[in-house]
Structure 1
């Protein structure tokens, strides 16, 4: 049974999936399984994953019965996960080789239900874009409501500490998950070390700030059920931080 289960939804990423998987295969920490839940891709994505899995059985393909979006694909991977720890890696992003080793050591030292790391952005051609995106040392539930610091590809959840892990089928389902963990009273811990590469594509959520803002507002009001004034207060802080982060690109 693997100690770390890596959760990866995929859909039509034949250009990037092999490189993403390769960044897992070279991890200095080896006790992992990679669960790739393919959301009915129409390109060669599932075939590429299956070919890699035939060579390394730690790479496991899960085929979704119908296209339902990343939240449902992530949940399918979580439902099949064996590991105590859940790490999240989207299908076009990359990890540096020591990501799991360093973050696991950090998470154990902090006894962190949820931890996250610094990262850098890259474009579709793997060109570095912008400076290191640094992270705060700690985030509580109330602080995370106003913050954009936990990037999906940097998150690590210790299920023995966090309690149940379930995705919410909303835009920014990852943000919903982090909030659900911290709402229980946990503190998220940040490792300010450059360990990941977040790929920005023309079709990515980060390229659509208006849609992103609508999703966050919906989470405040309809998922977290915050009062209107608190929602507005948190949204103002979140918007300012999101703007500053985009300027770093």
Structure 2
């Protein structure tokens, strides 16, 4: 396995490339995260043949920042403006990666990255499967005093991704969550699955809850996610 920096869709992408890759996995990090951080949370994936790709979201990592601050009166709006930009870039990176490598593509997202994965699915993007770690398909509850005026962000609250399940096309989706997550409460993840279930064939929508875990992508979640991806890689 080797690590390289690639340019895809005009963006700097960190790649972990196995000797004989059999699939692509585009990993989308969370708020305050980075491409290096999300890849560090997915040990063993490259060794099992997944060519890992990650890039920094707008205002994160090596890009001009800083990330949104919770002290800002427009924090929520700023967070979801980042998410909308991240989604557009992720689509372009994924499409170019598929053209370049000619391999089946999977998605993984952590926290905000999981929400971005839902955005992609709700817009009709069709990876082979998706891992949604410690996230949901609904935006955060608006804190008191927060102002949202951006039309794109308002649209996310009016029609969250998870309410558009017919657009997901039954793409295999596994949500992995901690029972004690205080950032994205477990109930919000369960609400996501409840909204999507009527639009999913049996066996394609799943959940894994790690008892005692908080808002952390744990090694156990990573292992369960890897098994899910391997199953759907072999099933098609």
TM over 0.5: no
TM-score of the two chains, using structure 1 as the length reference: 0.33
Pick 1 or 2: higher relative contact order, CA cutoff 8 A, min separation 6: 1
TM-score of the two chains, using structure 2 as the length reference: 0.34
